[in-house]
Structure formats: C-alpha cells, structure tokens
Structure 1
Amino acid sequence: MLIFGLSGGAQAVSLPAAAAAATQQSSPDKDAGANSSKPTVADKKAAYAALANILQNDQSRQELIDQLRHASASPSNSAPPTLTPPAATAEDKTVLDNVTDVSRRYGGEFSAKIQQLHNTIINSPHKTFNQQTFINALSHFLMLAVALFGFYLLICRLASPIYRFMGRWGRHKNDERTSWLQLPAAIIGAFIIDLLLLTLAIFIGQILSNYLNDGNRTIMRQQGLFLNAFALIEFFKAVLRLIFCPRFPDLRPFHLSNERASYWSTRLSWLSGLIGYGLLVVVPIIGNQINQQVAAVANVVIMGMITVWAIWLILHNRRNIQRELNALADRSLTFFAFFIRAFAFIWHWLACIYFVTLFFLSVFNPGNSLQFMMAATVRTLVTILSGALVSGILTRWIGKTIILSAELQRHYPELQKRVNGWVKMMLKLARSLTVFAVILLLLNAWQVFDLWHWLSAGPGERLVDVTIRVVLILILSAVGWTLLASLIENRLASDSYGRPMPSARTRTLLTLFRNALAVIISTITIMILLSEIGVNIAPLLAGAGALGLAISFGSQTLVKDIITGVFIQFENGMNTGDLVTIGAITGTVERMSIRSVGVRQDTGAYHIIPWSSITTFANFVRGIGSFVANYDVDRREDVERVNQTLQAAVAELMENKDIRAMVIGQPSFAGLVGLSDRAFTVRVSFTTQPLKQWTVRFALDGMVKKHFDAAEIKAPHQTVQVMQTGNDASFNAAGAVLPAPE
C-alpha cells in the first residue's frame, strides 16, 4: 500500500490514493493515471479500514514492518518492490474491542459527514443571484400555494357536517353498549375521507400548477417541490387529526380534554409544517436561486431552531404527559398498562432522540431525511396501532370463557376447564408473538436491520420454521392429553342415564393411570421440543439412563413401594374410603398414591404407610360384614327359656326395616355354647352388609337387654370365697362362701 509513496521521489502520494492504486493490476501508465486522480471518500474509508486491521494484529503488523524494511533496503535504481498486504489473522475480540470498533466506525462516518457539510458550505460553486427571475418564480409559487391552501380549507369545511354526523353516530352506538365496532369504524372512515380530500386537493394543485408555471422549467420544478411537500405534510397532519381530532371530540379515540388535544395538534402541526416546507421547499429553492452555501446554512439554522423548540416543548410538558399516560394505564387492561407505564417513564428521552436524529439527518442528507423520518414515523404509528388492536382483541378473548353444553359437562366434567386453560395459553402465546412481531417491525421501520431479508434467509427463516413446528407440537400434545384425560374422567363419573359410579378400585386405578399418562406425555413433548429447537437429546437420554440406574440402586425401597402398591391395586386389596386394619392401625383409607397409603384413625390421627411395609392387612368392606354375639346368664336360669327369650329379641329386631335391610339372610342361633360354675353362654351370629355389623350389633344388644329384663333373666353374679385361718368357732374349718355385695 505504501510502495507508491516510497518510489515517487519528491512527489507525495496520499494513503487513500496509494491504496486505490495498489488494488489495481494495470500498466504503469494506468498506475500514473490512478496516482494523479483524487481518491474518493469510499477509497479513503477502505484504505483506513485495511490499514487499521493490519496494524491491530501483532502478526500482520510485524509482517508489514518486515516488508517495509525490505523495500527500504532495495537499490534505488531497481524496480519498485511489490508489497503484499498481510492478511489479518482472525482472533477473538473482547467486548471492549467490539465497542471500540463500532465507535470507530460510526465516529468515522460522523466525521466524514461533518467534513462533507464543511466542504458544501465553503467550496460549493457560487451562483449569480438574478432578482427578476427570483421575484417571477416567487410570485407564481405564491399564487399556487394560496390557491391550493384555499381550495383545501374550503373542501375540509364542507366536509365538517359529515365528520360531526359520523362522530355522533359512533359515540351513540358506543354509549349504548350495543356494539363496540361502530366507533372505530367511524374514526377510520373519517380518516379515509380526510385522505380522499387530500388526494382531491393534490389533483387540483397539479392542474393549477400546469396553468401557473409561465412555461418556465424552474418554476415547474419549484411548484413540484411544493406539491410533494404539501402531500407529505398534510398526510402527517391527517394522522395528527386522527389521533387528537381537536374540532370533533366524538371522533377522538383517546380520553383527552379539548384544550390538551388542541394544544398538541396545533403545535405538532406547526412543527411538521416548518420542518417539511423548510427542508423540502425553502432550502432547495435557496440552493437553486441563490447558491448552495446559503442553502446549507439556512438548513442548519432552520433545523437547529426547530430542534431547540421541539426539545423545549417536550421537556416543558414532560410531567403532564407522564401523569396523563399513568392515568391512561390505570384505565387500561393489565397487559397494556405495563407498556404504557414504561413508555411514560422514557417518552421524553425517545422524543428528544427523535428530533436530534432528525436534525443530523436533515443536515447531512437534506434531500431524503424528512421522507425517511416521516415514513418511519407513520410506519411506527401504524405498527403500534395494529399491534395494540390485535393484542387488545386477544386480551379480550383471554378474558372470555368457553361454555360447553350441559350434556358434555355431565359426561366430561373437567373438559370445559381444560379446554379454557389450553385456549387461554394459546392466546397468550399469540399475544406474545404479536409483541415480538411489533418490535421487529419497529426496528425494520427505522432500518436498524433488514427484517424481510432476515425472514427469507438465515436465522429468521429457521426461527419461523421452528416456531411453527413447536406450536403444532404443543397443539397436538394438548389435544391428545385433553382427549385421553376426558375419556378417563368420563369413566370416573356417572352419566345422565343412571350409570352408577365406578368402584373405588376402578377410580384409584384410573387416577393413577391418568397421572402416569400426564408424566409420559409431558416428558415426550419436552424431548421433542428440545429436539426441534436444536438441542441434542442423545446425551440427555444417555444421562437419564445412567441417572435412572444410579437412582434404582439408591432407591430400592421406593421401587419396592411402587411395585407392591401396583400389585395391591390390581388385586383390589383396598381402595379409598375402605375401613382397614394395617398392623396396629385401624382407620379409613383417605389417599392412595403410587408410593404410600394414607389412613385416618377414628381419633383423627393421619398415618402415611409405605406400601413396602404392609405384610398383612384386614379390609372390612370386602363383600360382607359379620359378627357373633355371646350372652352370659346365671347358671340357675332355664336354658330353654333363655333361648326362647333371645329368639324373641332377635325376631323383634328383624321387624325393624332399617335393620333388616342391613342383614343378609337369617340370624344363626347356636344355643348353649359355654358353661362355667356360675354361668352359661348362649350365641347368635349375623351376616350383614359391609360396615353395618356394628350398627346391627348395637341394636341387638339393646333389644336383648330389654327382653332379658322383661323375662327376669339374671346375669351371673360374682361371688367371693372367704377362707378362715383362725380358731373362730363361727366359721368351720372349710370356710364359707358368701355372695358378693349387691
């Protein structure tokens, strides 16, 4: 790159020119021509970037030094040595290096723009000012402007009754709460009419321009600039009228007072008018009629004054707008309230950055800056409004509930709740995707990155493809789980045709199966999703296998609990609600999981018993209940009379319909089953419905006591034998047996 500077003798060659010449493989004549040509700004940038990359790397810098020393040591009469720019080796850059590169890049571009502006002001060719031509062009320009503005104001006044009617109609329908579509339709319709009137005014302006140009091409060009500026500025004002609508409050989409709406509409209209007509009309006419130096200075002065005024206006109203935005957030839905409060916190910074950016763009690129800012602004507003509309609709749908028919709710009790849950989750996902799309569109509107190229090739295309497949997988998993779970819940509930409730065993097994199904579907879905987003699940599966093997060795008791519980359930050993005795614990089964059973005693104590600790257990609700009743009577009573009395008590008990419904078959009388020195025992046994044996037994005891008392059948008396060990004559040597005290 520096060889031409070394071999040129007294002639100095700049680095950009040398870089441009070094990249050309041509004859010496062409090289001399390249050396004599002035390098462009792009050549300078390329040379600076290439040299910076070479000097930044240690290896390439040392290689360049070696080549320079070799070139300096060559004889003066020899051919110029050729320098091969060393390739900069790739190396990892730190965050600080990246920030430095970006700062250097944009700083260089900013410096180049400043230099370009300086050259425009200082070195632009002067042009002789012709007063007569200027006055002639100005008169024709003013005639067109006055005629066009007059016509546009006239047709806007004539359309005022239409706007009032549409506002009253939309607001009346909205106040009646009959439909919420009329007011947005009226607002959009008024905006469309505004655009149609603007189109008509531009058409009439073009016709007037054909008659008011005096056949002069310069006047035609200036009038064309005015018509373009008029179309652009009035379109922006139409957007302002759509937002603030100061003259027709019924068409105002936001809750603003008439004073605030008129305040902001007037100032923003004046601001847009000054910027638009200043940049698109005044500055080009000055540059054409006077010279470029005055036009550049006028551009800087106009935009500087407008930028200062705009920033003062923003900072002056910062707190008022922040307060109004917070009030709007309080009236909005929760989803929108977050974004509105965040915007209220930083809106003044964004507005200041907007006008500062407009200032620099208008100074550096006055021809296209305003069109770019206006187009980006309109696209931003349209994107935000569209995203807010779609998000608002989705938010309203999220708040609604799908009501299934009564027949479906009877057959599938949890189906409505489950369907609403999945639908709300999908709507929230769609709302999140809407917010993401709005952010991408906003970045694309300001040319931060090329959205359409990103979507058509590269990571954007893959992201869209993966997102679609992930959503489809989630939908299929949700549908599959909903159908299977609903079928299981249908078996767990009785139907409208009188189908009885399933047994406790069936309910327990179906519940366990539903839980296992949920775990299986969730695991498979997660694995498929990880595979779709590019995660290699082979190590996960291998790791899961190794982890499962380790867990199996360390949790043998847990595995034993699960296996024992499964076999007990398949054998229908116990179910929820059964009265059981497990070891020393007797109580009601309240909960059964895959690892343990929960038993509640009559004292209120709750016991959790692992399945593996159960060796034997008793279940009181399997098939039947039974009990054996033994009654002891005095030995001196007549056996036949006692049996007859007992049979009479049982017969009277069986006449009770409630008790009889609990008894299966007939009671069995065993007669005399025990004999002692003081009493004998009679027995009767009952077979009852499960868990009804205690009720029947208590009723039987009461009935037997009643009959035994009526028949004066005595229970055995306890006796006490007293043995005499002294010489008292009142007792014989064998002692005496005395009855126990009553």
Structure 2
Amino acid sequence: MRWILFIFVCLLSIPAQAVTIPGVTTPTSTNTQTAPAKEPDVEQKKAAYGALADVLENDASRQELIDQLRKVATAPPAEPVPTIVPPTLTEEKTVLENVTDVTRHYGEALSSRFAQLYRNITDAPHKSFNPQTFTNALTHFLMLAASVFGFFWLIRLCALPLYRKMGQWARRKNRERSNWLQLPAMIVGAFIIDLLLLALTLFVGQILSDRMNAGSRTIAFQQSLFLNAFALIEFFKAILRLIFCPMVAELRPFNIQDAGARYWNRRLSSLSSLIGYGLIVAVPIISNQVNVQVGAMANVIIMLCITLWALYLIFRNKKEITQHLQNLAERSLAFFSLFIRAFALVWHWLASAYFIVLFFFSLFDPGNSLKFMMGATLRSLVIIGIAAFVSGMLSRWIAKTITLSPHTQRSYPELQKRLNGWLSTALSVARILTVCVAVMLLLNAWGLFDFWNWLHYGAGEKTVDILIRIALILFFSAIGWTILASLIENRLASDIHGRPLPSARTRTLLTLFRNALAVIISTITIMIVLSEIGVNIAPLLAGAGALGLAISFGSQTLVKDIITGIFIQFENGMNTGDLVTIGPLTGTVERMSIRSVGVRQDTGAYHIIPWSSITTFANFVRGIGSVVANYDVDRHEDADKANQALKDAVAAVMEKEDIRGLIIGEPSFAGIVGLTNTAFTLRVSFTTLPLKQWTVRFALDSQVKKYFDLANIRAPVQTYQVLPAPVNGPVSTASEPLPPTEPTL
C-alpha cells in the first residue's frame, strides 16, 4: 500500500513542480527563475521501476492503482489563470498622411521602373553581333513578310467587287422603309468576310513560315513574332475598315465624307502598324540579334515618335472632330445627346492620356504593354457598343406608348396613362443601370476595378441583392396602386352599357379614398425601401409619432375640419354641384376637400369655407323643390274673379310641356291667405324637381300677369290722405271753395 501511495505522490508532484501560483511571493526575487529539479540517478530509477513492477504484478494493488488513476483523470482541471495582454496600439493617420503614403508608394514604383529601364540601357550584358546571321535572318523574315502582305492585298483586291455589290444592293433595299435589316446585315457580313480573309492569310503565312525558316529556331521565332503582330494589327485595321470603309462608301455605317474616311483610316492604320510592328516585332528582334541596350533605346525612340505623332493628330483635328460630335449630339436622342456633348469636350484629353499611358507601359513592359492596351481597347469598344445598343433600344421603347382598347379606356380612364408612366420610369432606370454597369466594366477592362470580384463577393453581392429587393418592392407597390386606383376610377366612370355616373357624394368619397390610399402606399413603400438600404426606421417612426402628437396639439382646428368634413360626407350633406346656403353665402359647391369646401356665388366670387366653421347650411338639391307664390290683389276687387284668373293662369302653365315635366303632382290653391286695409293675398303652391322651382315660378309670374290684365284685376295701390289746412287768418269769403270734409283718393 505504501508503494502505491509513493508512486501516486510522485505522479502528482511532477506537474505540481511546474505550477506557479500568481500573486504569491517567494523568498527569492521575482526576477529570479525557479531552479530546475535534479534528475534522479540510476539507482533511484531502478528502485522506482522495481516498485512499479511489484504493484502491477499484484492484482489488488494494480486494481487500486487503476482506480486512483481514473479518479485523477475524472477530476475537473484547474481553471487557467487569465493572462493580461495590453491592447495593441494602432496609430491613426490623417488624410494628408494617407495621401502621402500612397504617393510615396507609387512614386517609388515609378522610380524603380525608370531605374530598371536605365539599367537595361546602360548596364545590360553585351552580346556579340554576327552580321551574317543577322542578314540571313532578316532575308528570310522579309521574304515571309512580303509574301504575306502580297497575298493579303491580292485576295482583298479580289473581294473588292463583292463588297461593292453588297453595298449597292443593301443601299437599294434600304431606300424602302420596310427593308431596314439588309444594310446592317451586309455591313456585318463584309466584316466577317474580312476576318475570314485574314484567317486564310494567316494559314498561308504559317505554311510559308514552315518552309522559309531554313531550319533555324531563331528565324522561326522571328517569323512567329511577325505573324502574331500581323494578326493583331490587321484585326484592328479590319475594325477601322468597318467604321470608315474607305473603298466602299455604300457599306459605311456612319455619315462620313469620303475624304475624311480615307484620311482617318490611313492615319490610324499607319499608327497601329508602327506601334504593333515596332513593339512586337522590331524591338524583340533587335534585342535578340543586336543588343538589349539597342533594343531598349529603339523601344524608347519608337514609342516617343508614336506618341508625338498621335498628339499632333489629336490637337490638329480637335476643332473638326468636336464640331462633328456636337452635330451628332443635335441629331441624337436627348439621353445620348448629353453624353455626346460631354465627350466632345474631353475627347482630346482622353485620347492624349491613352497614348501617354501606352508610352509609359511600353517603356516598362514592351512585350505585354501593347497586348494589354489593344485588349483593353477592344473590350472597351465592345462594351461601349453593346451599352449604346441596349440604351438605344431602351430609348426607343421609352418613346413608344401602350394603347389600350376603347372599351378598357372607357372603363379605366387613367389606366393607360398610368401604365405608360410606370413603363417609362422603369425603362429610364434600366437605362441608367446600363450606363453604370458599362462604366464599371470599362474600369474593369483597364484594370482599375475588379468588377467580377466585387459582384460575387462583399459589397457588390450585397448591393445587387438590395437592388433586386427594392425593385421587387417598387414593382408590387406599383401593381397594387394601379389595381386599386383603376378599380376606383372604374367606379367613378360610366360604361358602354349605359351605367350612369355615380352620385356626387360617391364621387367625393371615392376621390378622398383614392388620395388617402396614395398617401398610405407611398409612405409604406418609402419606409420599406429605407429599411432595405440599411436605414433604421425605428427612430423615424418614433419621431413621426412624436411629431404627429405635437402637430395634433397645435392644429386642433385642422383636425376638427377633417373630422367634420368626413361626417358631412358620410351624412350626404352636400356634394359637388349642389346649390347651398352656408351662413350668409348662397352658391354652388365647386370643390370639396378633406379640409374645406369651395362655394361660388352667382356674382362669380369663390369662397373657401373650412368644415369646422359650418354650423348650419341649407341644400337646395335634396329630393324636391318648392314654389309658394303669393299674389296681392286690390281690396275692392272681386275675390272670386281674382281666384278664377289665378286658376286660369295656373292652367296655362300646366299646359306647357317643358314646365309640366318640372312639376311633381298638382298645384295647391290656398285661396285668401292675407287681408290688409288695401289688399288681400291669394296663394298657390307647387312641388317641383330639385333646383327647378325658380323656372316654374318665373313661368307662373308671367302667366298671372297676363290673366290678371285680361280680367282687369288691379294690384293694390298706395293711398294718400289729404287733411284740411289749419285756420289762422281771416275768414274766407263765400266765393272761395272750401276744402273737402273727407279725404279723397
């Protein structure tokens, strides 16, 4: 048992010797390291091994040792002591320091390039020049070049009549407006034939190269350089011929004069030949056959001459090309006109930058600079061409409109206008996205921006996802608003089956509901779009609630106007076109909004009355109209005679068809309804259609005047009483007349 305890203590004491309890001081200094344990000698090791063997040999002790080991294995480990590591301090740089670092980085890279160029010119290893080998290689090279150029010129000369026939046939067909596809097809076909002739020439050139290399790898290498340069340059010239077409004007896609087309085709072809054959052929051959230093100097001289010549051509023709671009902008669509005018202002700077960049690239990397520039240029032309084509198609679609059937236009008056508006907006946004994608692809073509990496990883993928979700949100919002608004407008319109227009109340309520629906859909759409682009709308909602509470306290009258207007509308109190009296104003309702009502008097004055200021009002267009006509007759006239004259006048009115259709039921005679000292009053009343009471009253007054005159019925007259004069003087003589004792009429 004691051996088991001894071994167990030994096993536990080994890791304990390496443990240092933090925070507990030792007698020694903290800087003094703990001395390593003394290694046991041979005798001690033999004794320990023997004791362990005795323990393992005994079954009981072995089982007890196993139990002790398992107990130790299942014991929870001690918690590690956390190590305090000071935070790494990062130095924050200012914007000026960052700009300085970037400038220093590119400056050092540029200076290292120039240093490498200087070493190539001055310190490059010399190579012995063998005139015989150089002459032999040059002879085979010139033979191959002359054969290839001659064969290519000959087959292109044979194909020239075919080009002219194609152009004449296409132009003849193009004069017919229905045949617009033939000319573009012939232009593309001529370009394909040109490429096929180039491929045939390269095939023949490769066969000639295999027979003219004299079994020399150097000559074969030089001839392969020539064929590569020939393929690249002639492909670029084929594009120039596609644009300018100097020999066959009928196949020219643009309106360019023959002299201008020949001028630019010749200059650009010569420039491309000098660049291609100089950098791809001449410089490698000189470096290989003559000397690396001479090749570097030749590279600098060739590119310097090319750059100066290109700048000369650019600034010499600056005004002419700018004028042509401005004329083209005037004939183009508004969307393209803006880009063309902007390009007309900066095209010479872009062209100058192109050749300057090519100059520096060729100095630092002569072998790959031209391939990179030509590839980037070709990709740029393809991108610009495809973007222009797509944008042009979108512009043409924007100019077109959707025309619905007459039945649909009558049922949904605003649907066609709304559909055309949504379609125009969507196509305009698609055109803007096309331009943005084209710009990013151009940057990618020149190595300034990794578009595909941006699109598949990080911000690009997230941006595309957000744009797709926003497009779907706007799409469904537009569909929802179009459907709901069209249904409301269908309810507001009459149909071909003679369905009458809805009442004024219905029109007013539906119009208010459509406006409220537009505000709700717009608000919800804006909030969802803001949430999709990462804007936290919770503060906006909270702020809107607080602002609404503040506004509600400050605009109680406005809230009162809205609530009163809603209840008046639901109670069908008044509608557009009604004749109403509101307070002292009487007029026709012309406009009703959620806050006020607009009333126009017969004098032409227009009054805007808030709903909350209306306490009582009278509406003359509610069911029926009423005419109560009172006529005063002289007191001394016969009442029966006057009544009969009134009845005859009413009968004459009832015999008029246009007036009879306005009267509901029969007239009511009330007889004498008033009596004074000078007159009595006769009354007759009518029930009429709404707003027709005045028409009936005017017709009745004219007939009453007529029949009262025929019956000699007098109207009451004003009477005067003459009193006797006062007696103040002498008594009058008998000859003077005395005043009457009673007044006379």
Unaligned runs of at least 5 residues, structure 1: 1-85
* TM-score w.r.t. length of structure 1: 0.86
Q: Shift of the alpha carbon at 1:731?
A: 9.8
CA distance in 2, matches of 1:299, 1:321: 31
Provide the residue aligned with 1:174 in structure 2. 174
| Contact 2:627/2:696 (8 A) holds in 1 | no
| Contact 1:722/1:735 (8 A) holds in 2 | no
- 1:512 and 2:512 equivalent? yes
Provide the residue aligned with 1:93 in structure 2. 94
* Equivalence map 1:390-429=2 (5 Å): 390-429=390-429
Provide the residue aligned with 2:31 in structure 1. none
Within the candidate set 731, 737, 740, 2:743 is matched to: 737
* Equivalence map 1:38-437=2 (5 Å): 89-94=90-95, 96-437=96-437
CA distance in 2, matches of 1:300, 1:732: 147
| Contact 1:198/1:234 (8 A) holds in 2 | yes
Residue deviations 1:238-284, cap 9 Å, x none?
11111111112122222111111110110000000000000000000
Provide the residue aligned with 1:580 in structure 2. 580
* TM-score w.r.t. length of structure 2: 0.86
With 548-557 and 460-469 compared, the bigger mean Cα shift is at 460-469
Residue deviations 1:266-312, cap 9 Å, x none?
00000000000000000000011111000000000010011111111
Q: Shift of the alpha carbon at 1:627?
A: 1.5
Residue deviations 1:574-626, cap 9 Å, x none?
01111100000100111000000000001110000000000010010110111
| Contact 1:719/1:738 (8 A) holds in 2 | no
Q: Give percent identity, aligned residues only.
A: 68
* Equivalence map 1:657-668=2 (5 Å): 657-668=657-668
Partner AA of 1:619 in structure 2: N
- CA 1:88–1:153 in structure 2 vs 1: closer, same or farther (change >3 Å)? farther
Q: Shift of the alpha carbon at 1:502?
A: 0.6
Partner AA of 2:173 in structure 1: K
Residue deviations 1:49-108, cap 9 Å, x none?
xxxxxxxxxxxxxxxxxxxxxxxxxxxxxxxxxxxxx987241422x3332222212111
Partner AA of 1:149 in structure 2: F
Query: SS at 2:376's partner residue?
Result: helix
The two structures, once aligned, show a CA RMSD in angstroms of: 1.6
Query: SS at 1:720's partner residue?
Result: coil
CA distance in 1, matches of 2:239, 2:129: 39
Partner AA of 1:738 in structure 2: T
- CA 1:644–1:145 in structure 2 vs 1: closer, same or farther (change >3 Å)? same
Provide the residue aligned with 1:592 in structure 2. 592
Provide the residue aligned with 1:570 in structure 2. 570
Q: How many aligned residue pairs are there? A: 653
CA distance in 1, matches of 2:353, 2:153: 34
* Equivalence map 1:577-656=2 (5 Å): 577-656=577-656
CA distance in 2, matches of 1:90, 1:158: 72
CA distance in 2, matches of 1:514, 1:371: 63
Provide the residue aligned with 2:71 in structure 1. none
Q: Shift of the alpha carbon at 1:164?
A: 2.0
| Contact 1:670/1:683 (8 A) holds in 2 | yes
With 384-393 and 262-271 compared, the bigger mean Cα shift is at 384-393
Unaligned runs of at least 5 residues, structure 2: 1-86
- CA 1:187–1:411 in structure 2 vs 1: closer, same or farther (change >3 Å)? same
CA distance in 1, matches of 2:567, 2:330: 59
- CA 1:210–1:87 in structure 2 vs 1: closer, same or farther (change >3 Å)? farther
- 1:548 and 2:554 equivalent? no
Q: Shift of the alpha carbon at 1:564?
A: 0.4
| Contact 1:670/1:682 (8 A) holds in 2 | yes
- CA 1:716–1:279 in structure 2 vs 1: closer, same or farther (change >3 Å)? same
- CA 1:92–1:519 in structure 2 vs 1: closer, same or farther (change >3 Å)? farther
Query: SS at 2:215's partner residue?
Result: coil
Q: Shift of the alpha carbon at 1:162?
A: 2.8
Provide the residue aligned with 2:523 in structure 1. 523
Q: Shift of the alpha carbon at 1:191?
A: 1.7
| Contact 1:724/1:731 (8 A) holds in 2 | no
* Equivalence map 1:480-499=2 (5 Å): 480-499=480-499
Partner AA of 2:184 in structure 1: P
Partner AA of 1:604 in structure 2: G
* Equivalence map 1:527-538=2 (5 Å): 527-538=527-538
Q: Shift of the alpha carbon at 1:736?
A: 3.5
CA distance in 1, matches of 2:437, 2:672: 93
Partner AA of 1:533 in structure 2: I
Query: SS at 2:717's partner residue?
Result: coil
With 174-183 and 306-315 compared, the bigger mean Cα shift is at 174-183
- 1:689 and 2:695 equivalent? no
CA distance in 2, matches of 1:523, 1:170: 56
Query: SS at 2:666's partner residue?
Result: coil
CA distance in 2, matches of 1:187, 1:97: 56
With 650-659 and 468-477 compared, the bigger mean Cα shift is at 468-477
- CA 1:294–1:87 in structure 2 vs 1: closer, same or farther (change >3 Å)? farther
CA distance in 2, matches of 1:274, 1:110: 26
Query: SS at 1:665's partner residue?
Result: strand
The structure whose Rg is larger is: 2
Q: Shift of the alpha carbon at 1:480?
A: 1.0
Partner AA of 1:639 in structure 2: A
Q: Shift of the alpha carbon at 1:717?
A: 1.3
| Contact 1:127/1:290 (8 A) holds in 2 | yes
